[in-house]
Amino acid sequence: MDKIKLRQICFYFACVAPSVKFIVYPATLTYEAGNDLLLAALGSFLAQGLVLAAVFWLSSRTDKTFFALLQGAFGKAAARAVYGAFALYFLFSALLPMLEQRSFVMLVLYENVPSVLSYAPFFAVSAFACSKGFKALGRAADLALPLFCTAFAVLIALAVPEADFGALLPVARRGAGIFRGGLFGLNWHAECAYPLFFLGRFERNKGDAAKVLLSFAAGAAAVLLFLAVFYGVFEDIAVLRQNSIAHISKYTTAFTSLGRIDLLFIFAMTLVNVFALCVPVQMCVHCTHAALPRCGRLWPALAASGALLAAVLLLNYSFLEMQQLVTQRLWAVFLLFAYAVPLAAALLFGLREGKARPAPRRRAPQSRRKRAPRSHRGREQARRIHPRKCRGRERARRLHAEKHLRQKRARLHTEKRARARSARQGAPARGGREEGA
Amino acid sequence: MPFAASLQQNLKAVKAVLPAEDILVHAFRAGDGTPCAAVYADGITDKKGIAELAVLPLSRQEAPRTAEALQKALPYPETKLPQDVAAACQSILAGDALLLADGVAGAVTLGAKQAAARAVTEPQTSVTVKGPREGFVEDIKTNLGLIRKRLPTPALRPETLRVGRHSQTAVCVLYLDGIADAKVAEAVKARIRAIDIDGVPDSSYIAKFLAQKPLSLFKQAGTTEKPDILCAKLLEGRVAVLADGSPIALTLPYMLAEDFQSSQDYFVSPYRATVSRLLRLLAVAVSLLLPAFYVAAQLFKLRLLPFPLLMTISGSIQGIPLSPGLELFFLLIVLEVLIEAAVRMPKYVALALSVIGALVLGDTAVKAGLVSSPAIIIVALSGISAYTVPDLAGTLSVIRLAYVVVAGSLGTYGIVLMTALILYYLVTSDAYGVPLLAPFAPLVGKDLGDAAWKESVYALRTRPAALRPKNRTRLRLVYRGGKEE
């Protein structure tokens, strides 16, 4: 089974997911919300956090996968249909960030040879990553943690001295703009649907939701800090700075003698971004594999990556049009799949499953955990240490004893009746059989 | 074919199986005049031992009538009763001597193997300033002895298997019972038993068969030439494989972090060891990425270089006919050729070739305007850096070439993508259930203390969790800094 660890989910939300919000998102948010960009982003994060909390509340009440839950409630065909719809949604949701990344690569990482071919090998990497399942996603998140932390810390440290935070005042000046900023930024906040597909694929423990929400809050805090510094550095011209991560730290005076050393950390952040961009494609391949298990993973991975490559080639010069289409017209699609469906699923299945399965206990740390003794003498002790483990064995023993008692009663009853019948006929009887008849 | 009671028939049967001229027969008579014979392979058998401990005692006493009695009559320390002629012939080929007597329907094999072996010396590939200097040799028994000397515990379980249809090479799998994961040991044995090949000249052949991904560019089994390192790995819960004729021992499961550890790290201060490990990590990054970034910076991203450095480089590359990518690729190939030649050339021509390599190729090429001085500096730095982790040097050189090609064609984003691809490949590679990139991905916090950095010996209380050892406790603290715990 495709497994992932809770720690890796936490790292994903703390380090990998925020990296896609450092390119066009700050400029878009500034365009809509001006100096209130922090409020708009905060609103989106709160909504996302609510969905995450709901999904992890569901995860605390069931150890089934989302597919199994759908199958149990609506049948296999419906489950496949939902997964198929999500596969298409994830594929679609991957498109705009890729176009965004493509223009970032062309404008920031190259100065003299812009070519779509330079970006095309990304799809080979994504196809490889997608064919490996959640293992690649989770372990990449493990590696992304130090990369992201170092790069983010250095870039912010280089940019903060140039920032004027007074530019963020006065607060809440653009009422409708804040709302629009939150709404049009939905495609950058679509990752709250992912944990729905991690259900049943990680070891459940009490306090999982708190850990994930804390990690998510850390990631959100990093994005908010970045947005504040970004607006503090550029103020009114922030809207023109599309590739914000590349511009935020470039005014540091030390660069005259050192060169653009910040580019090394931008490269590190770009690497994390590659991991992040692979995630929606990985989710798409996961959904396709679950809906159509016979396909395996390689073919869906190749197909999804090929389709996205074709789309990127076709929309090579249409980033702005695509951005307007996705953010201003199709925001409802993101609202539906990333927010409404996970919330509805959490409520529906959480209430259903909660009655059947209690929340798991918190596991004791390795050092305090004791192994149950195997010997017969130690069984009582084992029962005390592992009451839940022994519950099934006790129930089986009780059922067996009851069955044995029922059989004994039935045998005695048969013997009694046979004895009575033989007494009526005047012949001696024993054990239900007539002797010497 | 069973043994007959007649000496002549038995000798004829042995000669029928082993007609080679180096299979010698020494005929002699027992004390009562019974004809006897010792059959052995010339050159690999201890003739003096056979003469003193078998032939001489037997010539002074009455010949026994059974093989068991013959075995008991000899003061020889290592004897066996072969089942049949074929088994006896196999023992002769392995270096044992076969003792036959007329009237005895059987034989006795005498463990008299004496192959020419070099002395136990410090291996050239892992020289240490501090720490033990013994290294493995080509004789498996000597190697086992070196390990047994360090681990005189009944928990050490060696099991010897024969591999190779013709070579019949002894391959020994050993692990510490109660510490190593028994499933790994069984899996290793099963894979070795399944090998059907004509000969095994070195343990690297075995490594190919033990690999989960035989075509991988990265190593799949750890290697060491030093018994102290092998014992440390056994104590961590790994399984070791020794092959007769090879001084290189294999250890499984393998993690990439092992190659960044040196035996000296455990004999010096943990701070010094941590600095050394970070330097190795940095050196590997420099070795892989410096040539690629140099090419990418020149071709696509000039601002990556500080302005004065950019001016210097642009001054020195003026008039160079090759593009930066081709120039670096060409120089890296020259470096590889020099390394190959330096390894294989006779020592007495090494000095002359070094002069030619360094002066003629390097200096003259710059003066002739074929290559630039910065390119030579970068290639030299990259080449030297790779040898801070000698076990990875081969892999690094191949990846470095690929990086230069990618940087020359796709630029900086190509470098980023290639790094992502390599990382995805590494994080999804497992060997015997242990991730290749553990303890970094998946992150195993407790194991980081002996991987990314080096903690003091007090912190190494448990064995690496990634290896799933049966018994995790490595150190029971009684005293720490003079205080009782």
Distance CA B199, CA B160 (A): 16
Task: Give the list of residues 6+ apart from residue A133 with CB closer than 8 angstroms, or none.
Answer: A2, A282, A286, A297
Query: Residue A356 is which amino acid?
Result: A
Statement: residue A357 has pLDDT above 60: no
Q: Which residues of B touch A263 (CB under 8 A)?
A: 301, 303-304
Cα angle, residue B316 at apex, residues B313 and B317 outer, rounded to 5°? 85
Of all residues in chain B, the percent with pLDDT exceeding 70 is: 98
Q: How far is B446 from chain A (nearest CA, A)?
A: 12
At A382-408, the pLDDT tens digits run: 555 555 555 566 677 777 888 888 888
pLDDT of res. A372? 47
Same domain? For B99 and B153 the reply is no
pLDDT of res. A437? 29
pLDDT of res. B297? 84
Give all strands of the β-sheet with B35-41 in edge-to-edge order: B23-29, B35-41, B97-101, B108-110, B79-80
**Residue A361: band (very low, low, confident or very high) from pLDDT cuts 50, 70, 90:** low
What is the rounded average pLDDT of the residues B232-251?
Answer: 93
Statement: residue A15 has pLDDT above 80: yes
State the SS3 of A112-175. Answer: CCCCHHHHCCHHHHHHHHHCCCHHHHHHHHHHHHHHHHHHHHHHHHHHHHHCCHHHHCCCCCCH
Q: How far is B260 from chain A (nearest CA, A)?
A: 17
Please state the domain count of chain B: 3
Statement: residue A164 has pLDDT above 60: yes
pLDDT of res. A54? 94
**Residue B107: band (very low, low, confident or very high) from pLDDT cuts 50, 70, 90:** very high
Which single residue is written with the structure tokens 């984003």?
Answer: B413
Statement: residue A429 has pLDDT above 50: no
Statement: residue A117 has pLDDT above 70: yes
Q: Cα dist. B146→A421, B71, B172, B381 in Å?
A: 87, 30, 14, 38
Spell out the domain ranges in chain A. Answer: 6-356, 380-434
Using CB atoms, pick whichever of A8, A119, A128 lies closest to residue B421: A128
**Residue A432: band (very low, low, confident or very high) from pLDDT cuts 50, 70, 90:** very low
Task: Give the list of residues 6+ apart from residue B64 with CB closer than 8 angstroms, or none.
Answer: B70, B72, B73, B101, B104
Which single residue is written with the structure tokens 């899996």?
Answer: B187
Same domain? For B345 and B249 the reply is no
Statement: residue A215 has pLDDT above 50: yes
At A171-198, the pLDDT tens digits run: 777 778 888 888 888 888 889 999 999 9
Identify the closest residue of chain B to A272 by CA–CA distance.
Answer: B420
Alpha helices (H) in B300-346, listed in sequence order: 307-317, 324-344
pLDDT of res. A430? 42
Statement: residue B280 has pLDDT above 90: yes
Q: Which residues of B touch A113 (CB under 8 A)?
A: 299-300, 411
pLDDT of res. A434? 36
Best of B417, B434, B477 to substitute, by most chain A Cβ atoms within 10 angstroms, is B417
Distance CA A331, CA A328 (A): 6
Task: Give the list of residues 6+ apart from residue B465 with CB closer than 8 angstroms, or none.
Answer: B439, B444, B446, B447, B472
Strands A433-434 and B23-29: unpaired
At B394-444, the pLDDT tens digits run: 999 999 999 999 998 888 889 999 999 999 999 999 889 899 998 998 999
**Residue A431: band (very low, low, confident or very high) from pLDDT cuts 50, 70, 90:** very low
* CA-closest candidate to residue B115, choices B183, B198, B46: B46
Asked if A138 and B442 come within 8 Å (Cβ–Cβ), the reply is yes
Q: How far is A270 from chain B (nearest CA, A)?
A: 7
pLDDT of res. A350? 87
Statement: residue A381 has pLDDT above 60: no
Best of B410, B418, B471 to substitute, by most chain A Cβ atoms within 10 angstroms, is B410
**Residue B163: band (very low, low, confident or very high) from pLDDT cuts 50, 70, 90:** very high
Same domain? For B21 and B95 the reply is yes
Which single residue is written with the structure tokens 């100065």?
Answer: A111
A395-404, A419-428, B41-50, B163-172: the lowest-pLDDT one: A419-428
String of b and e for A326-365 (b: at least 16 CB within 10 Å)?
bbeebbebbeebbbebbbebbeebbeebeeeeeebeeeee
What is the rounded average pLDDT of the residues A110-122?
Answer: 74
Mean residue pLDDT across chain B: 88
**Strand, helix or coil for residue B75:** coil
Using CB atoms, pick whichever of B417, B435, B440 lies closest to residue A121: B417
Which one has a higher pLDDT value, B349 or B291? B291
**Would residue B262 count as lying in a domain?**
no
pLDDT of res. B424? 95
pLDDT of res. A377? 47
Biggest CA-to-CA distance, chain A:
121
What is the rounded average pLDDT of the residues A6-20?
Answer: 94
Q: Are A157 and A265 in contact (CB under 8 A)?
A: no
| B60: its two tokens | 């002074």
Q: Which CATH number fits domain A6-356: 1.20.1740, 3.20.170, 2.40.50, 1.25.40?
A: 1.20.1740
Dihedral over Cα of B317, B323, B328, B330: its sign: negative
Identify the closest residue of chain A to B437 by CA–CA distance.
Answer: A139
Asked if B420 and A145 come within 8 Å (Cβ–Cβ), the reply is no
pLDDT of res. A222? 95
Q: Which residues of A touch B310 (CB under 8 A)?
A: 259
At A56-105, the pLDDT tens digits run: 999 988 888 999 999 999 999 999 999 999 999 999 999 999 988 888 88
Q: How many residues can be counted in chain B?
A: 485
String of b and e for B115-151 (b: at least 16 CB within 10 Å)?
beeeebeebeebebeebbebbbbbbbbbbbebbeebb
Mean residue pLDDT across chain A: 83
Same domain? For B201 and B336 the reply is no
Q: Which strand (E) or helix (H) includes residue B36?
A: strand B35-41
**Strand, helix or coil for residue B172:** strand
pLDDT of res. A391? 57
**Residue A379: band (very low, low, confident or very high) from pLDDT cuts 50, 70, 90:** low
Distance CA B69, CA B104 (A): 10
Identify the closest residue of chain B to A271 by CA–CA distance.
Answer: B416
* CA-closest candidate to residue B413, choices A162, A291, A101: A101
Query: Residue B311 is which amino acid?
Result: M
CA dihedral B344, B345, B346, B349 (to 10 degrees): -160
Asked if B441 and A142 come within 8 Å (Cβ–Cβ), the reply is yes
Asked if A257 and B443 come within 8 Å (Cβ–Cβ), the reply is no
pLDDT of res. A256? 65
Using CB atoms, pick whichever of A121, A140, A257 lies closest to residue B423: A140
pLDDT of res. B302? 64
Distance CA A122, CA B172 (A): 46
> How many beta carbons lie within 10 A of that of residue A259, not counting itself?
20
Tell me the helix, strand and coil percentages in chain B, rounded to 5.
Answer: 50, 15, 35
At A126-141, the pLDDT tens digits run: 999 999 989 999 999 9
Distance CA B157, CA B173 (A): 8
pLDDT of res. A254? 64
**Residue A153: band (very low, low, confident or very high) from pLDDT cuts 50, 70, 90:** very high
- Please, what is the end-to-end C-alpha distance for chain A in angstroms? 66
Q: Cα dist. B205→A286, B131, B136, B187, B211 in Å?
A: 38, 30, 18, 17, 10
Cα angle, residue B186 at apex, residues B184 and B189 outer, rounded to 5°? 110
Using a CB–CB cut-off of 8 Å, the residues of A that contact B are 5, 7-8, 105, 109-113, 117-119, 121-122, 124-125, 128-129, 132, 135-136, 138-140, 142-143, 145, 255-260, 263-264, 267, 270-271, 274-275
Same domain? For B84 and B160 the reply is no
Using CB atoms, pick whichever of A109, A257, A258 lies closest to residue B413: A109
| A84: its two tokens | 């198929």
What is the rounded average pLDDT of the residues A23-28?
Answer: 90
Distance CA B221, CA B218 (A): 9
Same domain? For B400 and B299 the reply is yes
Same domain? For B366 and B324 the reply is yes
At A259-300, the pLDDT tens digits run: 778 888 999 999 999 999 999 999 999 999 999 988 889 999
Same domain? For B104 and B152 the reply is no
**Residue B279: band (very low, low, confident or very high) from pLDDT cuts 50, 70, 90:** very high
pLDDT of res. B481? 66
**Residue A253: band (very low, low, confident or very high) from pLDDT cuts 50, 70, 90:** low
Distance CA A32, CA A41 (A): 11
pLDDT of res. B301? 66
pLDDT of res. A428? 42
Cα angle, residue A283 at apex, residues A280 and A287 outer, rounded to 5°? 140
**Residue B256: band (very low, low, confident or very high) from pLDDT cuts 50, 70, 90:** very high
Q: Cα dist. A13→A219, A335, B152 in Å?
A: 6, 19, 50
Statement: residue A218 has pLDDT above 90: yes
Using CB atoms, pick whichever of A105, A136, A256 lies closest to residue B424: A136
Task: Give the list of residues 6+ apart from residue A50 with CB closer than 8 angstroms, or none.
Answer: A343
Task: Quote the domain boundaries for residue B26.
Answer: 7-110
At A315-343, the pLDDT tens digits run: 888 888 888 888 888 889 999 999 999 99
Q: How many residues can be counted in chain A?
A: 437
Asked if B411 and A122 come within 8 Å (Cβ–Cβ), the reply is no
pLDDT of res. A433? 39
Distance CA B305, CA A257 (A): 10
**Strand, helix or coil for residue B249:** strand
Asked if B301 and A111 come within 8 Å (Cβ–Cβ), the reply is yes
Q: Give the gyration radius of chain B's Cα atoms.
A: 29
Q: Are A197 and A285 in contact (CB under 8 A)?
A: no
Q: Which strand (E) or helix (H) includes residue B370?
A: none
Statement: residue B193 has pLDDT above 90: yes
pLDDT of res. A127? 95
Same domain? For B249 and B290 the reply is no
| B26: its two tokens | 């020494």
